[in-house]
Amino acid sequence: MDTTLQDPLVGQLLDGRYRIDARIAVGGMATVYRAVDTRLDRVLALKVMHPALATDAAFVERFIREAKSVARLAHPNVVAVFDQGAQGAYVYLAMEYVAGCTLRDVLRERGALQPRAALDILEPVLAALGAAHRAGFVHRDMKPENVLIGDDGRVKVADFGLVRAVGTVTDTTGSLLGTVSYLAPEQIEHGTADTRADVYACGVVLYEMLTGGKPHTGETAAQVIYQHLNEDVPAPSRAVPGLADGLDELVAGATARNPEARPHDAVALLARSREVRAGLTEEQLDAMPPQAIAETHDAADDRTSVIPRVIPAGQGTAHHTSRLEMPPLPPRAGGRRPSVAGSRRGIFAALVALLLVLGVGAGVWYINSGQFTRVPSLLGQTQTAAEKRLADAGLDVGGVKRSYSDTVDRGRVISSDPGSGERIRGNDAVKLVISRGPEIVQVPDVEGIALADARRELKKVGLVPGMVTREFSEEIARGEVIRTDPAVGTDRHPDSAVALVISKGSPVDVPDVTGLDIEAARAALEEAGLRTEVLPDRVNSVEAEGTVARQTPGDDTEAAEGDTVELTVSKGPRMLDVPDVTGKNVDEARSKLEEAGFEVKVDRAFLSFSDTIASQSVDGGEQAPEGSTITIKTKGL
């Protein structure tokens, strides 16, 4: 079963504006959809908070804070936020849609990256975080899932949902939000998250890009937390021999457990990264990582989640004093033995984490978890990898369906039922939806068929009939398709618009029928293949009453056979007062008569050299039809 189709928001119009087309990803606090802003006709990403969290004022506040924070950044390497709003239980952010993949997708597909590629990704990430840091914000949830890599190669940082002002701390006695693999020690122990916490997370991400695996792993979140607090991030060259010393130093500086030893913000780390790059040879930058690096995926998944914060000894409340034996941690090659104080602090952190994860007592664990398991992370996995993950979790594959996807590569998981992270009984099955890749359709051959039929053919293959224009054609009959734009046979994604050019038929010269009576005009136009429409309102004109005063279109133009020519009937000319021009010279008399609306003819007396008007054909003060000719005569000898 396709869980994307089951999603109640897919296909809906949110807030009267955003048409939700497909689900892209599901996170711990929100789901991201591909949508269309119907007002501006643009594709965007819609991040919708899980309805169960919408009643929590703190979570809603984080959403609103994300919108406001990112709106202030306006940086080319930050995913832009366009709008924020709510409809009922759905609180959303409208964001820039980046067609491409996440850094996590790249790491799953390729494993370790060449140093040049790793730095090419790291540096725009640091530029984006640097802008946030200098604007007074801390991201607090940097990880490969929040680094987007566009099809055009652009790198952008997403998900500022946990952003905080510099210097702000989390709940100092409870828990904090984050992703356990990327939390800085001070976040776990003290709840502080300044710019150096983002620097630490970037150092972990860099290690992961260079080696293909995380520096701290374990079967439980507690083991990962213990290592953050008590073990340095190992040098990448221990996992990938041959990496340059400068890369080891860059990772070590960024991930120092003491925040004072790290670069103070992302701008400083960016400067250090560029210095390291400048000191590397071309061979060192292009050093090929191992061809096959097994993906490291520990029990602490990559979702943003609630993480128990370590409370130093003596500061905890009574319910933190329960004793529980710490399970042995897997040995780490070459790791130095932690001090007694460090061990106690790590054990305490692990105890708190284990109490949260396991519940209080075996009976509670069995009731809440023993009969159930959770669907492992499957989105973006190959079918083989997804089936193996399900088998490792003791779950069966309940069926496989294949569906087109513009965002998920062919052969990888689009969705599952139940979805990743959802609870499921241990003996149940999970249905998979596997991508067939983007669906491509060809523009069908609709040339020479009627417009209505062409529209049906386009819709039949999933395309949208677009703008219709018309032009003359000697070959294509009136009303049929001359061509399409894009042309027939062109590959297009479904729902793409196709413009249609429709034939107006062969051009017809429009005859001049002004001055003809209506019947004669109608006959002349019909003989030319044109139709006639006589308009009801009549006008004064120089044409005789009852004849055609004007026509639309006029003569000397072209129309299509069967087009209609509109005729306006004359009610005769207006009668105008004739001015008296006797005694005036010819030029003055002509001007005055023409201004009054008459044509003028000058009749000069025989053998007369006078320029003075002696008489006029219509006396001054009388009336004559508008446009009629007044003859003026000069004085004789």
Tell me, what's the pLDDT at 637? 62
Tell me, what's the pLDDT at 89? 83
Q: Which of 155-159, 238-242, 300-304, 407-411 is most confident?
A: 238-242
- Rounded mean pLDDT, 322-328: 31
1-97 with 100-358: one CATH topology? no
d(CA 373, CA 70): 37
User: For residue 115, is pLDDT > 50?
Assistant: yes
User: For residue 316, is pLDDT > 50?
Assistant: no
Tell me, what's the pLDDT at 177? 54
Q: What's the length of the chain?
A: 637
User: For residue 216, is pLDDT > 80?
Assistant: yes
Strand 507-509 and strand 623-625: pairing? unpaired
Angle separating helix axes 115-134 and 266-278, nearest 10 degrees: 150
Distance of CA 350 to the CA centre of its chain: 42
Residue 424 pLDDT grade (very low, low, confident, very high; cuts 50, 70, 90) = confident
pLDDT tens track for 609-634:
788 999 999 999 999 988 889 999 98
Angle separating helix axes 115-134 and 195-211, nearest 10 degrees: 170
Kindly indicate whether the domain formed by 1-97 is annotated with CATH number 3.30.200.20: yes
pLDDT tens track for 268-293:
999 999 999 999 999 999 988 765 44
Tell me, what's the pLDDT at 302? 59
The answer for residues whose C-beta is within 8 angstroms of residue 184's C-beta and 6 or more apart is 193, 196, 197, 200, 201, 228, 259
Tell me, what's the pLDDT at 365? 29
Q: Which has the higher per-residue pLDDT, 162 or 255?
A: 255
pLDDT tens track for 578-587:
999 999 999 9
d(CA 134, CA 486): 47
Percentage above 90 pLDDT, the chain: 43
Listed by start position, the domains of the chain span: 1-97, 100-358, 372-437, 441-503, 507-569, 575-634
The DSSP code for 115 is H
Tell me, what's the pLDDT at 305? 52
CATH of 507-569, one of 3.20.20.70, 1.10.3720.10, 3.40.50.720, 3.30.10.20: 3.30.10.20
Tell me, what's the pLDDT at 325? 32
Candidate from 23-37, 55-69, 190-204, 467-481 with smallest mean pLDDT: 55-69
User: For residue 260, is pLDDT > 50?
Assistant: yes
Residue 337, helix vs strand vs coil: coil
User: For residue 17, is pLDDT > 90?
Assistant: yes
CB 633, CB 590: distance < 8 Å: no
Q: Is 289 exposed, middle or buried (0-12, 13-18, 19+ CB in 10 A)?
A: buried
Supply the mean pLDDT for the chain: 81
SS percent in the chain: helix, strand, coil, step 5: 30, 25, 45
User: For residue 252, is pLDDT > 70?
Assistant: yes
Phi/psi at 425 (5° precision): -65, 145
Taking the CA atoms of the chain, what radius of gyration do you get in angstroms? Answer: 40
pLDDT tens track for 488-536:
999 888 778 899 999 988 888 899 999 999 999 999 999 888 999 999 9
Q: Which has the higher per-residue pLDDT, 365 or 188?
A: 188
- Dihedral in degrees, nearest 10, Cα atoms 419, 1, 390, 408: -70
**CATH classification code of 372-437:** 3.30.10.20
Q: Which residues of 446-463 are buried (b: 16+ CB within 10 A; e: fewer)?
A: bbebebeebbebbeeeeb
User: For residue 19, is pLDDT > 90?
Assistant: yes
Candidate from 58-72, 361-375, 418-432, 438-452 with smallest mean pLDDT: 361-375
Candidate from 45-49, 280-284, 554-558, 566-570 with smallest mean pLDDT: 554-558
pLDDT tens track for 334-379:
353 344 344 444 444 444 444 333 333 333 222 233 356 788 888 8
If we measure between CA atoms, which residue out of 198, 204, 232 comes closest to residue 302? 204
User: For residue 310, is pLDDT > 70?
Assistant: no
Which residues are catalytically annotated? 141
pLDDT tens track for 548-559:
999 998 887 888
Kindly indicate whether the domain formed by 441-503 is annotated with CATH number 3.40.50.410: no
Which runs of consecutive H residues, i.e. helices, occur in 334-446? 340-358, 362-365, 383-392
Tell me, what's the pLDDT at 160? 72
pLDDT tens track for 135-175:
888 888 899 999 999 887 889 998 775 444 444 444 433 44
Q: Which has the higher per-residue pLDDT, 204 or 356?
A: 204
CATH of 575-634, one of 2.30.29.30, 1.10.3720.10, 3.30.10.20, 3.30.460.10: 3.30.10.20
- Rounded mean pLDDT, 293-302: 46
Tell me, what's the pLDDT at 120? 94
Tell me, what's the pLDDT at 178? 63
User: For residue 127, is pLDDT > 80?
Assistant: yes
Tell me, what's the pLDDT at 338? 40
Q: Which CATH architecture has domain 100-358?
A: Orthogonal Bundle (1.10)
Candidate from 53-62, 332-341, 456-465, 558-567 with smallest mean pLDDT: 332-341
